[in-house]
Amino acid sequence: MYNHHLHQQINRILQERQVDVANEDNYFFMRFVANAASIDALFKEIYGTHSFYQQSFQQLIELITNTYINRSQSLKERDAEKEAKGFWYLSNEITGMSLYVDRFCGNIKNLENKLDYFKNLGVNFLHLMPVFESPEGESDGGYAVSDFRKVDKRFGTLEDLQTLQSKMQEEKMYLMLDIVLNHTSHRHEWAVKAKQGDTKYQDYFYTFSDRTIPDQYDLSMPEIFPETAPGNFTFIPEMNKWVMTVFHRYQWDLNYTNPVVFLEMLENIFFYANLGVDILRIDAPAFIWKQSGTTCQNLPQAHILLRLIKQCVQVSTPGMVILGEAIVAPKEIMKYFGTGLYTAKECDFAYNATHMALQWDALASGDTRVMLAAQHEILQKPYGTTWITYTRCHDDIGLGYEDYMIQRAGYNPLEHRKFLQEYYAGSYPDTPAKGALFSVNPKTNDARISGSLASLCGLEKAIDQKSDNAIDLSIRKIIMMQAHSFFLGGVPMIFYGDEAAYTNDYSYLNDPGKSYDNRWMHRPVINWEKNKNIDKEGTTEYRVFQGTKRLIDIRRKIAAVGDHKNITWLTPHTIHIAGYLRTFEDQKLYCLFNFSNREASLTWHTFKEHGPFSQNLYDHWREKKYKIGNDREYFIIEPYGFYLMEMV
Ligand code: GLC
């Protein structure tokens, strides 16, 4: 849409900055013109009535321009390569790993020496858990940031990070960093100035002189960490005011009704973009807009802000895509991909948190019906966007899917969730799992689950019991869980340690800065001596590492595994097996997983139900050919077994 005044305003700035709109910077210019009307409308929608509106909008345009100008030539070239590829991030050739730099290998410099480890496994995309400055003991794993531009000295320096990024770029690896958008540490300069009474900075946060408004908010706001950080406000004696602290007391929520806050944080986003971040993980985006009388989650204004960020990023630093870390109800997650005119124009990625939790549901019950009941929601994801698929991450497992999905499978939601919690926390009779409940809320009966992939799959107990059978079974579960998520569509994200069968690490209990948060049990400290076992046949590390590596390898060879919105769930012939078909051009890949501890069977008819079929199948996992049998003959899958059958 042409808007004379707006386009003149942009032109003026571009001329002042000597942007070469006709030649070298032509694509930037076109992107700017194409997105200008949206940027203008979105910004106006949120800040149009604010007294700083005019001046802030001018600053926004300047920021977009300066960011582009300051972007290095090599990143501009990389942007162009990615744009030429189209949706580069939908590819089946990307596999990620998420890790804490210090717990993985000490510091950023050492990570450079680990690039071969990733290469060996097949990982070409790294999510470094927060590395920016965060006060020790009050850091929430780095998610309480006291300086968005300074690498915490525990990890190294900004230079180290830049060197690592260049090395990764040379190796054609991708980098993901977080922007913790919702809050800062109470030790961030803005919070410190607010404490000193500076009202400019008090307006960066939600501050209140008495409890009247906080009490109103609290009526409808849930608690995130009810055990360790109940309530949503903290009294700050230095300023004699209450401040909104939705997460921990030391994490102050930023006030996005103030355009200055938005601009400051956008500048930080651009700072990361120009460091060479390929995928920006926006932490906790569901929380960035607050309105009393609501849950203060998933509000429409939060989506407007995310869309605005996306349009700005697309203009200045188009090679960087956005992951919205919205771990919310399935219907709500979907909205982070954008709706209406903004469909596929908000976040490029979201976590498939619903499916992750459903895998754990199916594994405990041996019944895949709840998983199937949710798919009609999950499949709404628009083309051009994708998932991070995963079985475990640094956070707990929340059973956040809807009650009706559980009811459709014939269970009582309350009892079913209770069963899952007890099964994974280790209190259910004879459960093989060893985890713990996280954030138990007696008011709502809610509880989430902590524990590593291996421990939740039974490996820790099996090793304690010295039972080879139980060890075998747990390894089968680990690999099956990973395979299911790797082939689902989206970019798989392995959580570090899971590739080498790490069980829970209880050392966090000795650290007062961590002992209150049992999520640390599944954030292991890597022991590289023990990791050498990945090459020693027969060890658990070897079996899990080699299995994971093979899965990545298979995935990379089959284009149909890329996310082309090409998944069809198979008709369930049995409640134990979850099966999906991935198709692309003339490729057909049937992925079948037995989630139960018993043999389960399908008829060969399964392979004849989806259009033209041939008589032959090739299982990439067993490297074995199969002839499609008679319709009434059974095809049997062993307990926790799976097949990756390509029609040939
Ligand atoms: C995200 C992070 C989580 C953190 C929270 C607050 O959900 O994944 O670890 O506690 O944000 O920043």
pLDDT, one tens digit per residue, over 579-603 is 999 999 999 999 999 999 999 999 9
Out of 124-128, 235-239, 346-350, 569-573, least confident range: 569-573
The pLDDT, as a whole number, for residue 445 is 82
Question: Does pLDDT of 572 surpass 80?
Answer: no
Token look-up 């099996």 returns 462
Question: At a CB cut-off of 8 Å and minimum separation 6, what does 634 contact?
Answer: 601, 602, 603, 604
Average pLDDT score over the chain: 97
pLDDT mean over 219-224: 94
541 CB within 6 A, ligand 1: no
Question: Phi and psi at residue 576, in whole multiples of 5°?
Answer: -85, -25
pLDDT mean over 63-79: 97
Active site residues: 283, 325
Atom of ligand 1 nearest to the CA of 140: 10
pLDDT mean over 451-460: 98
Residue 632 pLDDT level (bands cut at 50, 70, 90):
confident
Q: Which of 129, 395, 521 to mutate to test the pocket of ligand 1 (most atoms within 8 A of CB)?
A: 395
Structural domains in the chain, sorted by start: 4-70+255-322 (no CATH), 189-253 (3.90.400.10), 567-647 (2.60.40.1180)
Token look-up 């090599």 returns 74
pLDDT mean over 341-362: 98
The whole-angstrom separation of Cα 159 and Cα 161 is: 5
Going by DSSP bridges, is the β-strand pair 616-619/624-627 parallel, antiparallel, or unpaired? antiparallel
Residue 274 in tokens: 């120009």
Q: Give the Cβ contact number of residue 342 at 10 Å.
A: 18
Q: Is the dihedral of CA 371, 377, 382, 387 positive or negative?
A: negative
Residue 75 pLDDT level (bands cut at 50, 70, 90):
very high
The pLDDT, as a whole number, for residue 91 is 97
How far is ligand 1, taken at its centre, from the CA of residue 59, in Å? Answer: 30
Q: Is the dihedral of CA 465, 456, 143, 89 positive or negative?
A: positive
Secondary-structure percent of the chain, ordered helix, strand, coil, rounded to 5: 45, 20, 40
Residue nearest to ligand 1 atom 9, measured at CA: 395
Question: Does pLDDT of 211 surpass 80?
Answer: yes
The whole-angstrom separation of Cα 579 and Cα 620 is: 15
Question: Phi and psi at residue 132, in whole multiples of 5°?
Answer: -85, 165
How far is ligand 1, taken at its centre, from the CA of residue 283, in Å? Answer: 7
Going by DSSP bridges, is the β-strand pair 125-128/96-99 parallel, antiparallel, or unpaired? parallel
pTM over 0.85: yes
The pLDDT, as a whole number, for residue 611 is 87
pLDDT mean over 539-554: 98
Amino acid identity for residue 33 in this structure = V
Q: What share of the chain in percent tops pLDDT 90?
A: 96
Q: Is 581 helix (H, G, I), strand (E, B) or coil?
A: strand
